[in-house]
């Protein structure tokens, strides 16, 4: 029979997955970090309710890390690397003390990965950096028979995959449109150039034809008083 704590834990886990997924669709890093803070809090509490204190502490430590990044981002500054180093070491130490199998090394590595991924400014690149560890977490959850977590991490990884594909499609479409625009401009300039050239040639031909025609029938476009006639010397 399912206990109340287990049900609460799963509901919190699902809620955290929804919060974290919503953080991936924001446009700026501040909003991403802010939603990540709440997501980590809820995620950590979901493990506390099933007495998995080690994982809960790591998740809450991740929340503290996101908070640190948020405050520096709010001031338009980069968080010093030594602070990130402290968080990374903390993840390793806490993870090592609470690990029960060799597989538990995976979450440790992933949280260290997140530490350095948070230095990226571009949200689209952050999505890619978060997709890889989330996909690995799904495999880890299945191995350790944490099927509920596998569902939540799988949902998050799938959501990220959809966003990444969408970003790629938009980027490719934008590049194609830019190329088309450049081609149209080039063709327009070329058409204008050749059009002007053809007009000039047509005008020139028209003048030449007119001169030949007028000369043939004794019609002179130049007034006679402007002409200088030279006498023909006697032979």
- What are the extents of the domains in the chain? 4-173
Helix (H, G, I), strand (E, B) or coil at 112: helix
Distance CA 32, CA 52 (A): 27
Angle, CA of 223, 226 and 231, to the nearest 5° = 110
Residue 150 has pLDDT above 70, yes or no: yes
Helix (H, G, I), strand (E, B) or coil at 209: helix
- Decide: 141 and 110 in contact? Cβ < 8 Å: no
Tokens of 123: 């949200």
Helix (H, G, I), strand (E, B) or coil at 178: helix
Average pLDDT over residues 11-36: 89
Give 222's pLDDT tier (boundaries 50, 70, 90).
very low
> CB under 8 Å to 132, separation ≥6 — which residues?
113
pLDDT of res. 192: 56
pLDDT of res. 95: 84
**Residues 75-90 pLDDT 10s:** 999 999 999 999 999 9
Distance CA 164, CA 131 (A): 9
Whole-angstrom distance between the N-terminal and C-terminal Cα of the chain?
136
- Decide: 29 and 123 in contact? Cβ < 8 Å: yes
> Greater confidence, 171 or 22?
22
pLDDT of res. 84: 92
Distance CA 229, CA 231 (A): 7
Q: What is the pTM of this model?
A: 0.68
**What are phi and psi for residue 72, nearest 5 degrees?**
-70, -40
Q: Nearest Cα to 55, choosing from 157, 121, 153, 123?
A: 153
Distance CA 66, CA 84 (A): 10
DSSP 50-68: TT-HHHHHHHHHHHHHHHH
> Greater confidence, 78 or 185?
78
Q: Which long-range contacts link 91-94 to residues 24+ away (Cβ below 8 Å)?
A: 91/58, 91/61, 91/62, 91/115, 94/54, 94/57, 94/58, 94/61
């Amino acid at each position: 029979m399912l206990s109340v704590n287990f049900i609460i834990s799963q509901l919190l886990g699902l809620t955290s997955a929804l919060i974290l997924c919503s953080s991936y669709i924001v446009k700026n890093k501040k909003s991403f970090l802010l939603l990540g803070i709440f997501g980590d809090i809820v995620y950590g509490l979901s493990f506390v309710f099933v007495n998995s204190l080690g994982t809960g502490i790591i998740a809450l430590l991740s929340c503290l890390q996101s908070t640190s990044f948020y405050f520096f981002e709010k001031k338009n500054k980069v968080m010093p690397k030594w602070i990130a180093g402290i968080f990374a070491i903390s993840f390793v130490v806490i993870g090592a003390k609470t690990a029960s199998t060799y597989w538990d090394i995976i979450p440790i590595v992933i949280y260290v990965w997140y530490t350095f991924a948070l230095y990226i400014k571009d949200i689209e690149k952050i999505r890619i950096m978060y997709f890889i560890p989330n996909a690995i977490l799904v495999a880890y959850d299945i191995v350790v028979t944490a099927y509920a977590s596998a569902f939540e991490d799988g949902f998050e990884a799938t959501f990220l995959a959809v966003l990444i594909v969408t970003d790629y499609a938009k980027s490719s479409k934008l590049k194609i449109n830019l190329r088309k625009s450049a081609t149209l401009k080039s063709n327009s300039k070329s058409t204008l150039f050749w059009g002007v050239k053809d007009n000039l040639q047509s005008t020139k031909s028209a003048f030449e034809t007119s001169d030949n025609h007028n000369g043939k029938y004794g019609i002179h476009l130049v007034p006679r008083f402007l002409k200088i006639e030279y006498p023909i010397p006697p032979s």
